[in-house]
A = this chain, B = another copy of it.
Amino acid sequence: MRTVSRTDGLHDAIVIGAGSGGMTVAVGLARLGRRVALVEAARVGGDCTNVGCIPSKRLIHLSRDPAWRADPAGVLAEVRATRDGLAAREDREMAAMEGIDLIRGRASLAPGKRVVVERPGGAHEITAPHVVIATGSRPRVLEIPGLPPERVLTNETLFELERAPRHLAIVGAGPLGVEMACAFARIGTRVTVVEVAPRVLPAADPEASAALQAGLAEQGIGIRLETRAVGYVPERPGLRVEGRAGAELLDGVDAVLLAIGRVPNVEGLDGAVDAGPDGVLVDGWGRTSAPGVWAVGDVTPLAHQTHAANALGRRIVQAIALPWIPRLGGPPVIPTAVFSDPEVAWVGPPAAERAARCHPGALVDLRVELADTDRGLTDDVRRGFVAVSAVRLTGRVVAATVVGPHASELLPLLTFSVSRHVSLLRLQRMVHAYPTLAGAIGSVTDEFARRTLPHLGSEIIAYGRYRWARAPSGRRARTTWLQ
Contacts and interface: CB of A to CB of B under 8 A. Distances in A.
Interface of A: 31, 48, 53-54, 57-58, 60-61, 66, 82, 86, 305-308, 310-311, 329, 332-337, 345, 374-375, 377-380, 406, 408-413, 415-416, 419-420, 426-427, 429-439, 441, 450
Contacts of A332: 429-431
Contacts of A335: 431-433
How often does this chain occur in the complex, in copies? Answer: 2
A437 B329 CA distance: 27
Nearest to A310: B434
Contacts of A308: 431
Contacts of A419: 429-431
Given A82-B377, A419-B429, 15 more contacts: A31-B450, A54-B374, A54-B435, A61-B378, A61-B379, A61-B380, A307-B433, A332-B429, A337-B433, A412-B413, A415-B430, A415-B432, A415-B433, A416-B427, A419-B431
* Secondary structure type dominating chain A contacts: helix
- Ranked nearest first, the 4 interchain pairs of A and B with the lowest CB-CB distance are A337-B433, A307-B434, A57-B378, A306-B434
A423 to B, nearest CB: 11
A312 B454 CA distance: 21
Contact of A377 (B31, B54, B379, B430): B54
Contact of A375 (B57, B311, B380, B438): B57
A412 B435 contact: no
B412 A430 contact: yes
Contacts of A377: 54, 58, 82, 86
Contacts of A306: 434-435
A408 B378 contact: no
A409 B410 contact: yes
Contacts of A305: 433-434
B429 A408 contact: no
Nearest to A33: B454
A413 B414 CA distance: 9
Contacts of A57: 374-375, 378-379, 435
A427 B416 CA distance: 8
